[in-house]
Amino acid sequence: MKENNKSCAIIGAGISGIAAAIRMRNKGYSVTVFEANSFPGGKLSTESNKGYRFDMGPSVFTLPQYVDELFILSGKNPRDHFNYIPLDPVYRYFFEDGTVIDGYHGKEKYAEEMSAKTIDKKVDVIRYLNKTEEMYNLTAEIFLHNSLHKFKNFFTKRVVKGLLNFGKIGAFDTMNGANQKAFKDKKLVQILNRYSTYNGSSPYLAPATLNVISHVEIEKGAFYPVGGMFSITSSLVELAKEIGVVFNFSTSVREILVENKKLKGIRTDKANLNFDVVISNMDVYNSYLKLLPMAKKPINTLRQPKSSSGIIFYWGIKHDFKQLGLHNIFFSENYEEEFDTIFSKNTIYADPTIYVNITSKHTATDAPEGCENWFAFINTPNNTGQDWDLLVNKARERMIEKVNRILKTDIRPMIECEMVFDPRVIESRTSSAFGAIYGNASNNKFSAFLRHANFSKEIKGLYFCGGSVHPGPSIPLCLLSAKITTALVGS
């Protein structure tokens, strides 16, 4: 790489911040990452307890080429540093009536399973998946690969094609509305509606455009990183260090320094430091609230409704459940009421849908022999002052009762260790405003356009990346956020 004698500070060592650091270093900048925690990864971190290892946050891995791209950009062979295996099936879905449905990879196999386990026909499932593929191809260039806040980006051939076909992308229907039109079976609609949770929204409010998420997972595939999800973080941190990025852990940034609408640098607990460029990977709400006290605030953006959060139990289970896979969903009976409870009543549902991730299914050392490491998650509202101690206790009982009922077992005596995250912990550990895991919610058709830009319109030299800004949450989108952001620097 050619050095350019310019410096860049990255605030936050989340996955997007690490990716931005790698890209800025490859642009010739000297790069320093400042992370308040003693560890990297943000939500994509790890903890161990009594012989069990847990991935603490994101657990579904798609579009691995965006990780590979960072190694290739840095002149490395990705396979020498980071590996992953395809999943098939990706998910196992459990219903109260005893139905178990596998979510396979690939249209044909997926459609065959759905037609065998529901009343809908294979041809209708394939038609639906073909439509979501078309929607993905029409929207990816607009929403995923470019800044929505640079006027020139709307005049490329592919973007113009997408805009001309805007009526085909489902922007004027809800996810649930489109899925109910496509299928008769409640179970299949519920399976497809659940993809709204990937960005913390309700399928009864979010635009049908978000059904493209199912295309990414079903057709493009989901993968398991060898060694667990944290291997994404650890391999990229090692890559960043190899090419010269400096990490300062346990170092909080207290302020982004600005003079006459031009970036000057940052202030930490120890010193004021000058930088030519600053990229904040901190939640954009807290970036303005905590780091830019004197700056003009984008009030309309910051007032957008926040996404859902979650309660997560990290359980060491003294049993091997052969009927479970890596990704498991135990569905509630009334999905619409569950989402209404979360987003309208602002509390947890009495019969929550439970997601259970078990990495020991693929990495045996993540749990003692004959045991499993459960990441058991339910969707909740974000933190607006609820009695979370009470809600966590309620959630624990309801989750155990539901799992016991569906699996016809009793996991209570099998739990030999337990850690708990609730929205308060998520907020304090990751600086996610209100513990909202996914930034702003996507519960209206204009939500994609309402995310904060990847750059400051008021302060020259200040940029933003991560799940709270464009293009949104999830590992692939955070990696693309870093790509979009760093491409804007110097442009």
Residue 486 near residue 475 (C-beta atoms within 8 A): no
Per-residue pLDDT reduced to its tens digit, 459-484: 999 999 999 999 989 999 999 999 99
Would the pLDDT of 151 be above 50? Answer: no
Pair (402, 481) in one structural domain: no
Give the domain CATH number at 366: 3.30.519
Would the pLDDT of 425 be above 50? Answer: yes
Pair (286, 324) in one structural domain: no
* Mean residue pLDDT across the chain: 94
Pair (314, 416) in one structural domain: yes
Give the domain CATH number at 268: 3.50.50.60
Beta strand 61-62 with 309-317 is unpaired
Would the pLDDT of 342 be above 70? Answer: yes
99-117 burial by CB neighbour count: b if 16+ within 10 A, else e?
eebbbbbebeebbebbbeb
Would the pLDDT of 445 be above 90? Answer: no
Would the pLDDT of 70 be above 90? Answer: yes
Question: What are the E-state strand segments in 152-270?
Answer: 222-225, 246-248, 253-259, 262-268
Residue 136 near residue 209 (C-beta atoms within 8 A): no
CA atoms within 13 Å, Cβ hemisphere of 154: 7
Q: Which of 16, 24, 40 is nearest to 477 (CA)?
A: 16
Pair (407, 338) in one structural domain: yes
Which DSSP symbol is given to 454?
A: S
Final residue belonging to a domain, choices 430, 453, 476: 430
At residue 154 the predicted structure's pLDDT band, cuts being 50, 70 and 90, is very low
Would the pLDDT of 162 be above 60? Answer: no
Final residue belonging to a domain, choices 166, 187, 220: 220
Structural domain includes residue 83:
no
Pair (290, 312) in one structural domain: no
User: What is the percent of the chain with per-residue pLDDT over 90, rounded to a whole number?
Assistant: 86
Would the pLDDT of 262 be above 80? Answer: yes
Q: Is 225 helix (H, G, I), strand (E, B) or coil?
A: strand
Q: Give the burial class of 10: count Cβ atoms within 10 A of its Cβ; 0-12 exposed, 13-18 middle, 19 or more buried.
A: buried
Beta strand 462-464 with 277-280 is parallel
- One-letter amino acid of 279: I
Pair (202, 126) in one structural domain: yes
At residue 140 the predicted structure's pLDDT band, cuts being 50, 70 and 90, is confident
User: What's the start-to-end Cα distance of the chain, in Å?
Assistant: 18
Pair (323, 245) in one structural domain: no
Structural domain includes residue 208:
yes
Q: In what order do the strands lie in the sheet with 354-358?
A: 100-103, 91-94, 327-330, 354-358, 372-380, 309-317, 415-421
Pair (186, 262) in one structural domain: no
Q: What integer is the mean pLDDT of 304-322?
A: 97
User: What is the percent of the chain with per-residue pLDDT over 70, rounded to a whole number?
Assistant: 94
Structural domain includes residue 13:
yes
Sign of CA dihedral 12, 15, 19, 25: positive
Structural domain includes residue 373:
yes
Q: Give the whole-angstrom CA distance, residue 435 versus residue 286.
A: 11
Per-residue pLDDT reduced to its tens digit, 213-224: 999 999 999 999
pLDDT at 152: 55
Structural domain includes residue 74:
no
Question: Under the phi-then-psi rule, with left for phi > 0, alpha for psi from -120 to 50, and beta for the rest, what region is 450?
Answer: alpha
User: DSSP characters for 65-118?
Assistant: HHHHHHHHHTT--GGGT--EEE-SS-EEEE-TTS-EEEE-SSHHHHHHHHHHHS
Pair (289, 313) in one structural domain: no
Residue ranges making up the domain that contains 130: 111-220
Residue 224 near residue 85 (C-beta atoms within 8 A): yes
pTM: 0.95
pLDDT at 317: 98
At residue 2 the predicted structure's pLDDT band, cuts being 50, 70 and 90, is confident
- Residue scoring higher pLDDT (444 or 388): 388
Q: What integer is the mean pLDDT of 420-438?
A: 97
Per-residue pLDDT reduced to its tens digit, 83-100: 999 999 999 999 999 999
The first and second tokens of residue 13, run together, are 């060592």
Count of the separate structural domains present in the chain: 3
Final residue belonging to a domain, choices 201, 220, 239: 220
The first and second tokens of residue 120, run together, are 């809908």
Pair (348, 426) in one structural domain: yes
Q: Give the whole-angstrom CA distance, residue 155 versus residue 169.
A: 19
Q: What integer is the mean pLDDT of 290-303?
A: 89
Residue 208 near residue 177 (C-beta atoms within 8 A): yes
Would the pLDDT of 82 be above 70? Answer: yes
Per-residue pLDDT reduced to its tens digit, 25-68: 999 999 999 999 999 999 999 999 999 999 999 999 999 999 99
